[in-house]
């Protein structure tokens, strides 16, 4: 499996940023459905239906949502190949703040499981999963916990920070300041917003938090029942769940991904895995893999569809 970026995309950062900023995906409008969670919260699901009987569930990345270009591109590819589409938004990611104290995090497989069960209740007997970045970690952890329903046929995960701790250190390096600043700004905004209705959240000194690991230690970990950032990373990193996966799965991460640490490329661990195929193209950036062509299909989307078609 090889990927060759267009000449215009000359390094990992351009490969990462270009699709996020400039890609426009012509996609039929979503139909939104709000479902209730067992803990009296809600998830907003965005649907496009072909009435095909096959459902593709798409999980977005950190501070993403169903209208990100990479989600919509995957949705269009699935739609064009006979899938119904369900792009779900994590708690607090669908424009309206969620009700409970918790938000979402890299290991929140309970919400993905709830979405999958909802798809089954809708009558789907063939369900396929695609996850990007944080959503890929959730997807792989979900499969590795063996909660996955028999209806899950296959899964694909792109640009996954399999080791959350070392990837967090990687994204905090000076060369990645643009990304970490953007994520932190968005995350802080949500915490400040929620603090106006949840007195348990203390925002004193939040402006002095300059690293994702410090944000996770102060907010993500305690809000979701972890002892601290390292406990959260250790318990939620998908690399610890890969051995339990028994669903045919394709994992794709580019060697030049600026977000991923060396530990996110487990060649030895996956070399003889019965169910996971690991592809490691040299180029692609983080959730990039752009192509310039008439149908607008990105290389990553073509790989996912081809994998789903294989017997």
> Rounded to two decimals, what is the model's pTM?
0.97
Instruction: State the pLDDT at residue 90.
Output: 98
**Structure confidence by residue, pLDDT tens digits, 267-292:** 999 999 999 999 999 999 999 999 99
Task: Check residue 146 and give its pLDDT.
Answer: 77
Q: Is 124 exposed, middle or buried (0-12, 13-18, 19+ CB in 10 A)?
A: buried
Q: What percent of the chain has pLDDT over 90?
A: 95
CA distance linking residue 193 with residue 120, whole number of Å = 34
- Point out which residues pair with 154 in neighbouring strands: 128
Superfamily of domain 12-173+241-309: Alpha/Beta hydrolase fold, catalytic domain (3.40.50.1820)
Quote the pLDDT of residue 309. 95
Q: How many CA atoms lie within 13 A of 283 on its CB side?
A: 17
Confidence check: pLDDT of 311 > 80: no
Q: What pLDDT score does 149 carry?
A: 78
Strands 84-89 and 31-36: unpaired
pLDDT for residue 116 is more than 90: yes
Confidence category of residue 1, pLDDT binned at 50, 70, 90: low
Chain-centre distance of CA 273, in angstroms?
22
CA distance 22 to 223: 35
pLDDT, residue 264, reads 98
The string of pLDDT tens digits covering residues 218-246 is 999 999 999 999 999 999 999 999 999 99
Would you state the structure tokens that stand for residue 98, as one six-digit string? 């969620």
Q: How far apart are CA 172 and CA 210, in angstroms?
A: 9
Distances in whole angstroms, Cα of residue 12 to Cα of each of 8, 81, 159, 176: 12, 30, 13, 11
152-158 vs 249-252, strand pairing mode: parallel
Query: 3-state secondary structure string, 120-175?
Result: HHCCCCEEEEEEECHHHHHHHHHHHCCCCCCCEEEEEEECCCCCHHHHHHHHCCHH
pLDDT tens per residue across span 67-89: 999 999 999 999 999 999 999 99
- Domain borders along the chain are 12-173+241-309
Tens-place pLDDT, residues 134-183: 999 999 999 999 767 788 999 999 999 999 999 999 999 999 999 999 99
């Amino acid at each position: 499996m090889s990927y060759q970026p267009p000449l215009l995309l000359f390094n990992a950062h351009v490969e990462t940023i270009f699709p996020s900023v400039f890609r426009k995906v012509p996609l039929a409008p979503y139909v939104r459905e709000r479902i209730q969670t067992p803990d009296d919260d809600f998830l907003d699901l965005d649907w496009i239906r072909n009435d095909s009987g096959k459902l593709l569930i798409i999980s977005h990345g950190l501070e993403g949502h169903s209208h990100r270009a990479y989600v919509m591109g995957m949705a269009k590819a699935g739609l064009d190949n006979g899938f119904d589409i369900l792009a779900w938004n994590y708690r607090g990611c669908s424009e309206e703040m969620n009700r409970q104290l918790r938000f979402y995090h890299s290991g929140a497989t309970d919400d993905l499981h709830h979405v999958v069960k909802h798809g089954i209740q809708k009558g789907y007997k063939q369900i396929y999963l695609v996850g990007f970045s944080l959503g890929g970690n959730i997807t792989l952890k979900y499969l590795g916990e063996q909660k996955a329903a028999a209806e899950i046929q296959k899964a694909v995960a792109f640009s996954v920070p399999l080791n959350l701790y070392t990837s967090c250190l990687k994204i905090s390096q000076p060369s990645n300041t643009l990304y970490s600043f953007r994520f932190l700004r968005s995350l802080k905004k949500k915490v400040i917003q929620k603090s106006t209705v949840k007195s348990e959240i203390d925002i004193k000194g939040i402006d002095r938090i300059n690293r994702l690991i410090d944000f996770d230690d102060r907010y993500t970990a305690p809000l979701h029942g972890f002892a601290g950032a390292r406990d959260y990373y250790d318990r939620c990193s998908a690399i610890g769940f890969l051995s339990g996966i028994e669903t045919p799965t394709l994992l794709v991460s580019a060697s030049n991904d600026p977000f991923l640490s060396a530990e996110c490329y487990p060649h030895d661990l996956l070399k003889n895995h019965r169910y996971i195929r690991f592809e490691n193209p040299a180029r692609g950036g983080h959730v990039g893999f752009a192509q310039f062509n008439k149908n607008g299909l990105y290389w990553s989307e073509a790989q996912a569809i081809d994998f789903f078609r294989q017997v």
